[in-house]
Structure 1
Amino acid sequence: MDDLDRRLINRLQRGLPLVRDPWQVVAAELESSSAELLDRLHQLLEDGVLTRFGPMFNIERLGGAFTLAALAVPEERFENVAAQLHELPEVAHNYRREHRWNMWFVLGCASEQDLADALHRIESLTGLPLLNLPKEETYHVGLYFPV
């Protein structure tokens, strides 16, 4: 990772400008080109430096439903269960935690019924009981990690 990669990551944490061509604006700020920045972004994702890049939506305001869920996965099954979840389009991401409930993931669905169906399908697919942790309140935490 070089200086431009670092500056790009830092800039993207503040969001993209809401204009017709946001990459052109960011490129001007970083004294680069939009093609160069997009190439670098794709490379950072491919290399695993960044795991995700995309918009954040308030899915409930769009008529959808989401939840945070967890599974207590036996260590010998962890990679297999992670692969099963990775194949489900409703699973936004999953990650390991150092806890009895060691696999956490976010589900996003078109409706509450679809969400209930997905939760049931995951329990059936994995054979593991699921901990469903729906949002009770929204907090905005403006995280910024300078690179």
Structure 2
Amino acid sequence: MDDLDRRLINRLQLGLPLVRQPWQVLAAELGCSSSELLDRLHELLVDGVLTRFGPMFDLDRLGGAFTLAALAVPEARFETIAELLGDLPEVAHNYRREHTWNMWFVLACASEQAISETLLRIERLTGLVPLNLPKEETYHVGLYFPV
């Protein structure tokens, strides 16, 4: 990772400009071409330096629903179940925690009913009962990790 990669990652954490050509604006800010900037972003994703790049939507305001959930997964099945969850379109992401409930994931669905149905489907697919942790209050935490 060179200086441009670091500056790109730092700048992307602040959001994209809301203009017709955001890549041109960012490229001008960073002193490169928009094609170079997009190539760098693609390489950072392919190399796994960045795991996700995309918009964040407030599902509540759009009429949807989401929840945090967890599974207590036997270690021998962890990778298999992680892949299974990763293949479900409703699963925004999943990750390991050092706890009895060792696999945590976020579900994003069109409705509360769809959340319930998805949790039941996960139970049927895995044989494990998910712990559902719906949000009680919304907090906005602006994280910034300078590289």
TM range (shorter): over 0.9
Structure 2 unaligned segments of length 5 or more: list them.
Answer: none
Instruction: Tell me by how many angstroms 1:34 deviates.
Output: 1.1
SS where residue 81 of structure 1 aligns? helix
Q: Deviations over 1:78-109 (max 9, x none)?
A: 00000110110000110111111110111101
Residue aligning to 2:123:
123
Q: Deviations over 1:54-88 (max 9, x none)?
A: 11100111111100100010000000000110110
- Give the TM-score normalised by the residue count of structure 2: 0.98
1:61 aligns with 2:61: yes
- The amino acid that maps onto 1:51 is T
Cα RMSD (Å) of the superposition? 0.7
SS where residue 29 of structure 1 aligns? helix
The alignment of Structure 1 onto Structure 2 pairs a total of residues equal to 147
Structure 1 unaligned segments of length 5 or more: list them.
Answer: none
Residue aligning to 2:113:
113
1:146 aligns with 2:110: no
Percent identity of equivalent pairs = 80
SS where residue 107 of structure 2 aligns? strand
Instruction: Tell me by how many angstroms 1:134 deviates.
Output: 0.7
SS where residue 67 of structure 1 aligns? strand
- Give the TM-score normalised by the residue count of structure 1: 0.98
Return the alpha-carbon distance in structure 1 between the equivalents of residues 35 and 112 of structure 2.
40
